[in-house]
Amino acid sequence: MRKSGAPSLLISLFVLCGVLLSACGGSTPSTNTNGGGSTTAPKSVTLVTDIGGLNDQSFNQSANVGYMKAQGELKFRRQVIESKSQNDYVSNLTRAAQTSDMVIGVGFLMATAMDQVAKANPTKSFALIDSCATDAKGNCDSLKNVAPLFFKEQQAGCLAGVVAGQMEKLGKAKSSKLLGNNTIAAIGGLAIPPVDHYIAGYQYCAKKVDPAVTVKVNYSQSFDNTAKCQDIANNQISTAKADVIFQVAGGCGVGALQAAKAKGVYSIGVDSDQSHVNDSVIASAIKRVDQAVYLTVKDFEAGKFSATPAPFDLTNDGVGLAGLSATVPAEVKPVVDKYIADIKSGAITVPDAVQK
């Protein structure tokens, strides 16, 4: 009927709108040159985020906090590139490498893309959260210009396990919402190393504190599907009578925190302090991606780039336990502190493999 140019123009505009909106969370390479004054210009650092946006209340956000802290102190040119899909990794990392001296990639999933880009840009330095650069087969490539930033999540998981185990040991007399079956649970998003480290530590230390405790572990196969983690937690609570639920499944796991609240039991958050979600959250096992990014950038600017940095753990505040709630019995805190001291001193080594 109508074959004029106007409709097609409008369609293109609409599609453009869609693209712009979908890109809305960012792709803001906000450049910010320093006012000058320093004699040697600081080397520039670009942050390339994973999918999910800068305000994902997870690793992107945390990485950005550390990045901004370093940028505030060292005044290098600021450039943040947000990935919209896994297909963006290579192009974003390449763009970052071509325009700055160091590139920080957020996330495990970028491992292969980073390998490719780091090889193509051997004069630039790279750092990757949660992974080494891997070749097409998934094996670690030890490149001289890539720093893998690993965390000992098992130490944070251990502290969560200490809280849960000690509460079970003290029993109903101290924590009225316990169901009395001496069972706790964890929900992982996927059985991948960063998730399993947390769960392994949780299992190990809960059992170390209270050898009689049962730890039920399930995986949701998702980091987004809130309803799914809620269902799994409901099932753990009603069928296995688990009464402390540790979520290691990101946005999906928020559903587990909600299930714990609805069923009147306790829950433990992950990665950042999640006590704001609801009052069933008695603590959170945290991983300080901000600290890792901050320390890495600082070292880089000081000329101390290392392709084999020490993992981030309790000794350098790379992991920890946050937001221990007032509902947790007073007897728990000293035990947690003892474990922190023992882990730091090396008296306890927390394993990182989940026991079946």
What are the residues binding other proteins (CB under 8 A)? 1, 7-8, 10-11, 14-15, 17-19, 21-25, 52-57, 61, 84, 190-191, 218-222, 224-228, 230-232, 234-235, 238-239, 251-252, 254-255, 257-258, 261-262, 276-278, 356
Q: Copy the structure tokens of residue 350.
A: 């927390």
Q: Which is nearer to other proteins, 23 or 347 (CB)?
A: 23
Give the shortest CB-179-to-other proteins separation in angstroms.
Answer: 15
219 with 253: CB under 8 angstroms?
A: no
Strand 78-82 and strand 45-49: the pairing is: parallel
Q: Copy the structure tokens of residue 176.
A: 């009225």
229-to-68, 94, 236, 251 alpha-carbon distances in Å: 33, 36, 10, 9
Give the shortest CB-224-to-other proteins separation in angstroms.
Answer: 4
At 66, the amino acid letter reads: G
Q: Copy the structure tokens of residue 103.
A: 């590139």
Q: Which is nearer to other proteins, 155 or 222 (CB)?
A: 222
Instruction: Please give the angle made by the CA atoms of 146, 158 and 141, to the nearest 5 degrees.
Output: 20
Q: Which is nearer to other proteins, 48 or 332 (CB)?
A: 48
Output the CA torsion sign for 111, 115, 116, 120: positive
Q: Which is nearer to other proteins, 42 or 66 (CB)?
A: 66
Give the shortest CB-171-to-other proteins separation in angstroms.
Answer: 26
Q: Which is nearer to other proteins, 146 or 229 (CB)?
A: 229
SS3 per residue for 264-326: CCEEEEEECCCCCCCCCEEEEEEECHHHHHHHHHHHHHCCCCCCCCCCECHHHCCEEEECCCC
Question: Cβ atoms within 10 A of the Cβ of 75, count?
Answer: 18
Q: Which is nearer to other proteins, 17 or 341 (CB)?
A: 17
Q: Which is nearer to other proteins, 251 or 309 (CB)?
A: 251
Give the shortest CB-274-to-other proteins separation in angstroms.
Answer: 8
Give the shortest CB-161-to-other proteins separation in angstroms.
Answer: 20
Give the shortest CB-275-to-other proteins separation in angstroms.
Answer: 10
Q: Which is nearer to other proteins, 231 or 342 (CB)?
A: 231
Give the shortest CB-206-to-other proteins separation in angstroms.
Answer: 19
Residues in the chain, total: 356
Output the CA torsion sign for 326, 332, 336, 341: positive
Q: What are phi and psi of 214, to 5 degrees?
A: -105, 135
Give the shortest CB-296-to-other proteins separation in angstroms.
Answer: 23
